[in-house]
């Protein structure tokens, strides 16, 4: 087995173990540990426990690797590999006992993201991708939507926890809605990207994503021919992430520009924190 295969196996094992921990914590009272960008942007004790487990398992198996996580300090490594982890993507869903959340774990090398795993612990579904080798859900190859018309595109999105950003997003979305089939806002960017790769959504647009939200899901998309970019070919990130299969991407991107997604009036963007 090649090294990337070993890394992918490790990522899946660790993501599944973290998912089991998170589901176990969900059976009891969920404690909010802190807030981040606003009082509604929460971190739970389960987020901290999940990331601690992920860090410990990876350090035991590969002590020279770097680590970037949502809840703790970054770690520099000397192996050439860095892990990027979101211990609970969809924390507010978790807090409210809504079953749509995931553990997202990716591994990056000098060529970019090499391995991505997104584990949905309440359903047991696990999305996996290895660079150049395709993307799968529970071992079955993923197949994206064949949609070519934005007017028929079921589009996933998400909203900021900052009220001023949400107000602008609501205006953007109000202009976009008449141009597409409908919108879904499920609360986990990692799962949104995997569902896009699986053809459960036709398109995706969101502001404010961090590297740990994006890394694994973007590779899953890339491995099945789904483009994930910023506006006008920029790198996707906090300002905007746009996703769609190749045959839909350009037309969907044009509709976003027409709906004003290229106009961003808030000077303090991306927000701190």
Higher pLDDT, 71 or 83: 83
pLDDT in tens, 239-256: 999 999 999 999 999 999
- β-sheet with 82-89: strand ranges across: 66-69, 82-89, 102-109, 112-119, 126-130, 135-137, 140-141
User: For residue 40, what are its two tokens?
Assistant: 């509604």
User: Does the predicted TM-score (pTM) go above 0.85?
Assistant: yes
- Taken in order of first residue, the domains within the chain and their CATH numbers are 3-141 (3.30.540.10), 150-258 (3.40.190.80)
3-state secondary structure of 118: strand
Q: Across all residues in the chain, what is the average pLDDT?
A: 91
Place of tokens 């970054």: 74
Higher pLDDT, 207 or 267: 207
pLDDT in tens, 45-66: 888 999 999 999 999 999 999 9
Q: What average pLDDT does the segment 150-167 reach?
A: 93
């Amino acid at each position: 087995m090649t090294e990337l295969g070993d890394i992918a196996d490790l990522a899946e094992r660790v993501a599944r173990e973290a998912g089991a921990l998170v589901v176990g914590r969900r059976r009891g009272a969920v404690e909010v540990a802190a807030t981040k960008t606003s009082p509604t942007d929460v971190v739970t004790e389960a987020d901290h426990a999940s990331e601690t487990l992920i860090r410990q398992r990876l350090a035991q198996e590969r002590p020279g690797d770097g680590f970037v996580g949502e809840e703790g300090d970054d770690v520099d490594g000397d192996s050439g590999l860095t892990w990027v982890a979101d211990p609970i993507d969809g924390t507010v869903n978790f807090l409210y006992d809504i079953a749509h959340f995931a553990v997202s774990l990716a591994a990056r090398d000098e060529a970019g993201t090499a391995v991505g795993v997104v584990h949905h612990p309440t359903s047991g579904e696990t999305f996996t991708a290895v660079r150049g080798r395709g993307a799968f859900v529970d071992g079955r190859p993923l197949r994206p939507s064949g949609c070519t018309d934005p007017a028929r595109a079921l589009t996933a999105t998400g909203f900021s926890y900052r009220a001023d950003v949400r107000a602008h997003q609501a205006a953007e979305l109000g202009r976009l809605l008449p141009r597409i089939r409908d919108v879904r806002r499920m609360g986990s960017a990692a799962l949104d990207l995997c569902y896009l790769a699986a053809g459960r959504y036709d398109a995706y647009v969101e502001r404010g994503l961090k590297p740990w939200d994006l890394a694994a899901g973007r590779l899953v998309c890339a491995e099945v021919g789904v483009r994930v970019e910023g506006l006008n070919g920029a790198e996707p990130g906090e300002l905007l992430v746009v996703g769609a299969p190749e045959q839909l991407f350009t037309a969907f991107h044009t509709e976003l520009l027409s709906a004003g997604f290229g106009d961003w009036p808030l000077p303090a963007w991306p927000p701190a924190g």
